Structure 1
C-alpha cells in the first residue's frame, strides 16, 4: 500500500462581498475590478483602499479581509 498525501484545493476569487457601513446595503464586486484597482497582492491581504458603494455612492474603506 502506498502512503497518502494531503492536498489543497486551490480556487480563484470571483468576487468580494460586504455590507456598506453607511446604508447597510449588501454589495458584491467582481474580483477582477478589485484586483485591477488595488493590485492582486494588496487585495488578498486587506486594507488596500476604498471603493464606492453601488447603492448610496459613499466611499467605503476596505479593512481586514476574510477568505471564504
Structure 2
C-alpha cells in the first residue's frame, strides 16, 4: 500500500515495471505501508549428539545427547566439569574438562 503517490511520482515509481521491484523501491523510500523496522532472528537449536575423543586411545566416542546428559549430575553444562566417564574402547576414565557447542 502506497502512502503518498505524489512522492512516488517524484522518484519515478511508475517507471518500474516489475511489481515486486516497485514494492521494494517504496519500502526503501519509506513510502510503503508502515515503516519497516529491522529485527534480529534467533535460531534455537537442540543438542542431539555428543562426541568425545578419548585422550588415552584416541577413540571417538559418540552418543546421543540424552544419554550423555544421563551420565552427568545436572542438566546444566556448567556442572559437568570434573565429572568422569569411562571410554568404551579402552575402559579408562576420562575427566570432563571443557565443552564446545557446534
| TM-score normalized by the length of structure 1 | 0.82
Flag structure 2 segments of 5+ consecutive residues without an equivalent.
1-34
CA distance in 1, matches of 2:71, 2:53: 20
Instruction: Flag structure 1 segments of 5+ consecutive residues without an equivalent.
Output: none
- Measured against aligned partners, the alpha-carbon deviations of 1:1-38 in whole angstroms (never above 9, x if no partner) come to 41121121111111211210111111112111121222
Match of 1:9 among 4, 29, 43: 43
User: Which residue in the other structure is 1:19 paired with?
Assistant: 53
Q: Deviations over 1:45-65 (max 9, x none)?
A: 341511111111111111111
Q: Give the structure, 1 or 2, with the largest relative contact order (CA under 8 Å, sep 6 or more).
A: 1
Instruction: Report the count of equivalent residues.
Output: 66
Name which one, 1 or 2, has greater alpha-carbon Rg.
2
Please report the TM-score for the alignment, with normalisation by the length of structure 2. 0.58
